[in-house]
Each structure stands twice: as C-alpha cells, then as structure tokens.
Amino acid sequence: MSVELDSITQLQGIGRKTLEKLKFAGFTPELIAVSPVRVIAREADISEVQAAKIAEYIRSELMSEDSFITARDYWEYRKNIERISTGCGNLDKLLMGGIETRAITELIGEFGAGKTQICHQLAVTVQLPRDKGGLEAKALYIDAEGTFRPERVIQISKRFGLNPDEVLENIVYARAFNSDHQMLLVKKAFEIIKEENIKLVVVDSIISHFRSEYPGRENLASRQQKLNAHISDLLKLCSVFNLAVVVTNQVVASPDVFFGNPIKPAGGHVLAHGCTYRVFLKKSREGKRIARIIDSPCHPEREVVFFISTEGVVDP
C-alpha cells in the first residue's frame, strides 16, 4: 500500500514544478490523502484544480484492495491500545480513561496554561502500577524549552506514594538545543526504547525551535516540511513500540477569524493531521484551568476543569 509522490507527474497538467511545490510544503502521499483540496492548494501554492486532480489520484492509489481489513481485525488492533491515567480525574474523564498508546496527544494552550505541568505528571503516572492507572514503565522526556524541573517530579511522586529517587531514575531526559537536534533525539529514541521499557515519550514543546528558526511566510514551506518528517518519526515510534507520545503546542493569533475564538494552534495542517488527539487548555479566573478536546473522532465535545497545585495537576 504505497505510492511515490513523484508519480503524479504522469498526470496531465501536473509537472515537476508542482511536484517540487508539494514537496517543499511538506506534503507526503499520506498527508495529501487526508487533507482537504483547498488546504493542499493553499499550502503548496498550486491551483485547486491541480490539487483536486492530485488528491483523487493519490487516494485511488492508496485505496488498493489490501488496505481493507475487517472491522474485527481493526478491533483486535485497538484492543492492544493501553491508557495512562493523567492522575487528574477530570482530565481522565475528558480523555475517556487517560492518554492512549499508539497515538500522539497534543496539548495546546497559551503560556502558563498547564501543558508542561501535565507532561511532568504523566512522566510520573506512567510509572504507577496498572491497577492505579499506570503502565509500570519509564518515560523519555525531550525538553525543547528548558522547563523540565526534577523538583516538580519529586513533589508529584510523593502525592502518588512513589519513591522520588526511583521515579527520577525512570525518566530518560534530553534537552533539545535546536530543531535539528530535536529531530535527531527522536531518531535516537528508537535505539533507547529497544533496550528500555518506555511507554511515554514527551516533546515539550514540539514547535518552539521550528518557529524561531523559520520565521515568517517565506520560511513556512521549509518549516512545515521538516515538522512533517518529525511528526512521521513520532507516529512511527508510537505504533512500533505501542507507546504514548505527548507533544505540546503553542497558540497563535488568527487574523482571519471574525467570530468566536481569535487564537488557533500553531503548526498548521501538518500538526493538525499528525496528532491523533488535540487537547486545548485555557486559563480562567482564580487559577482555574479549562480543558477541551478538539477535532476528536471518538470523544464527545466537552469541557472539564482542573487546577495546578504544589502536588501537580489536580481536580477542583
């Protein structure tokens, strides 16, 4: 079940220039197959007629007979998915039990919304026994912003009755100094995870290096191209090792919105399609935080409330 992107140049009216534009914007055949025609045209700067033709061709190529399995086989595959409790009842309710393995969960929100705090807490709860919502496993933490704090891990461990020293020992940590380094760390993670029982990989944040190194519209295409490769590696990681990936993302002002919420997640279509579950976090009055799932295929639209305390992320 595969198709080479280069093969689109056999289509009438599609030349190498269009192919280059698509590649430049970070489009792979898989991404084209799941993106709306309008988005493909806009991001790659090609006409909608061209985008429609390419999308139709790619989808028909990808839909060969062997891409069908029975729903029962798919159910068997889904049954292997495990959940890690967030350690906060309300967030678990929102996520229908916790974060899933074989998926990327994206925490989106403004500064101070609680993204990093939730990542710290998950690095602890993944270590809990199964009957307490954990997976009795280790975490791998990629810190792009330099905000990982062992002190917080110690405080949170005590709340869950775990030995802080052991908990720290079970978190494999790396600081990512730039976007290339961050991508390299994920590639290296494959080697580490082969040896260690790691069930959670955190990237906090996935986007900050990319945004600062590729500013402005003129760099957007190269940025999205790299980000797409990075997300593909993370998706591979979670499906190969049946582990959970959690990434954090910032919000940006959205000038094209006149009604409703004028902010949107950074990272555009590449992150939107790469991440399985997107959780939006918002600050509210008196330290209250609100979490909501956006664009989920199987979670009802709802909001829950949580707080951040000395003990970590907690229920009201």
Alpha helix positions (H), 99-149: 115-125
Considering only residues 65 through 124, tell me which ones interact with Mg ion, judged by CB under 5 A: 115-116
- Given the structure tokens 């100094």, which residue do they identify? 177
Contact region with Mg ion (CB under 5 A), list: 90-98, 122-130, 147-155, 169-177: 147-155
Beta carbon nearer to ligand GTP, 9 or 310: 310
For residue 225, the minimal CB distance to ligand GTP (Å) is: 25
Q: Does 75 bind ligand GTP (CB under 6 A)?
A: no
Beta carbon nearer to ligand GTP, 36 or 112: 112
Contact present, 104 and 278 (Cβ < 8 Å)? no
Query: How would you classify the pairing of strands 198-204 and 171-175?
Result: unpaired
From the list ligand GTP, Mg ion, none, partner contacted by residue 308 (C-beta under 5 to 8 A by kind): ligand GTP
For residue 281, the minimal CB distance to Mg ion (Å) is: 11
Radius of gyration, CA atoms only, the chain = 20
Question: DSSP for 241-303?
Answer: TT-EEEEEE-EEE-TT--SS--EEETTHHHHHHH-SEEEEEEE-GGG-EEEEEES-SSS---E
> Of 126, 167, 112, which Cα lies nearest the Cα of 307?
112
Binding mask 85-124 for ligand GTP (x = CB under 6 A): ------------------------x-xxxxxxx-------
**Token reading at 185:** 């760390």
Q: How many residues bind ligand GTP (CB under 6 A)?
A: 13
* Largest Cα span, the chain: 65
For residue 257, the minimal CB distance to ligand GTP (Å) is: 21
Beta carbon nearer to ligand GTP, 179 or 248: 248
Beta carbon nearer to ligand GTP, 75 or 111: 111
DSSP 136: S
Considering only residues 148 through 167, tell me which ones interact with Mg ion, judged by CB under 5 A: none
Residues at the contact surface with Mg ion, assessed by CB under 5 A: 115-116, 147
Residues at the contact surface with ligand GTP, assessed by CB under 6 A: 109, 111-117, 145, 147, 308-310
